[in-house]
Amino acid sequence: MLRQIYLFATSKHPDAISAKSLQVRFLKPKIDFSKYDYLIITSKQTVKALEQYNKEEFINIPALCVSPKTALPYKNFGGNILDTGDGYGDNLVKNIKEKSKDKKWLYLRAELIASDFVLRCKSDGYKIDEEILYVSECAKEALEVQVSENPILIFTSPSAIECFLKTHTISSDAKVVVIGNTTAKALPSGIEYKISQKTSIESCMEMALSLQV
């Protein structure tokens, strides 16, 4: 009998029981975009949050996006893409340090973040301000999902793990797939896991399907 796959993410997949891990509440702090040379965008939720603002105030400011999947919706929104990372927040340090320390950055972010790349850059003399545009809260689906025996659990963010563990434990018979090293660090100690080859739900599902038998 094939193991049941459970996907804890903000997106769904037809080959898994999809339990939305987070629900997003948008904020709208007052921002003077004219002060900045570059933006930093690390999620599609940030792009949605920016829809609340006057587009003309920021749309021409070049944006460093964490991944192609984040850059695409921002480009479709009309945004100016400065550069695109490889999907890992920690690796944005390299992109930022390619630019002059005289330039001023604005990191548009979630309330809770997993990477300390901004702190590392600021400690090296780079000018980066931060504004919180959204808050992620545990969704009812992740908290209440019924998990079968011998499951395959896919986690696509540290928050997805934290929300799952509020009402569940990861059983010894479970197979665990995570989307990257930052997410893996949120697992309880002693839990074995596999990391997807790419930072995408599709890659996580490929890994999970290979573990089904």
- Together in a domain, 203 and 176: yes
Query: Phi and psi dihedrals of 108, rounded to 5?
Result: -95, 115
Does residue 87 surpass a pLDDT of 90?
no
What is the spatial distance between Cα 184 and Cα 96, in angstroms, rounded to a whole number?
Answer: 25
What would the mean pLDDT of 145-164 be, rounded to a whole number? 95
- Together in a domain, 29 and 126: yes
Q: What is the mean pLDDT of the chain?
A: 94
Asked whether the whole model's pTM tops 0.85, one would answer no
- Number of domains observed in the structure of the chain: 2
Confidence at residue 1, expressed as pLDDT on a 0 to 100 scale: 79
- Together in a domain, 29 and 121: yes
What would the mean pLDDT of 88-114 be, rounded to a whole number? 93
- Number of CB atoms found within 10 A of residue 48's CB: 15
Confidence at residue 59, expressed as pLDDT on a 0 to 100 scale: 96
User: Which of 114, 137, 160 is the endpoint of a domain?
Assistant: 137
- Together in a domain, 122 and 52: yes
User: Which of 86, 115, 137 is the endpoint of a domain?
Assistant: 137
What is the spatial distance between Cα 26 and Cα 24, in angstroms, rounded to a whole number?
Answer: 6
Confidence at residue 16, expressed as pLDDT on a 0 to 100 scale: 97
What is the spatial distance between Cα 99 and Cα 155, in angstroms, rounded to a whole number?
Answer: 34
Give me the domain span that covers residue 81.
Answer: 25-137
- Together in a domain, 31 and 128: yes
- Together in a domain, 127 and 148: no
Is 67 or 88 the better-scoring residue by pLDDT? 67
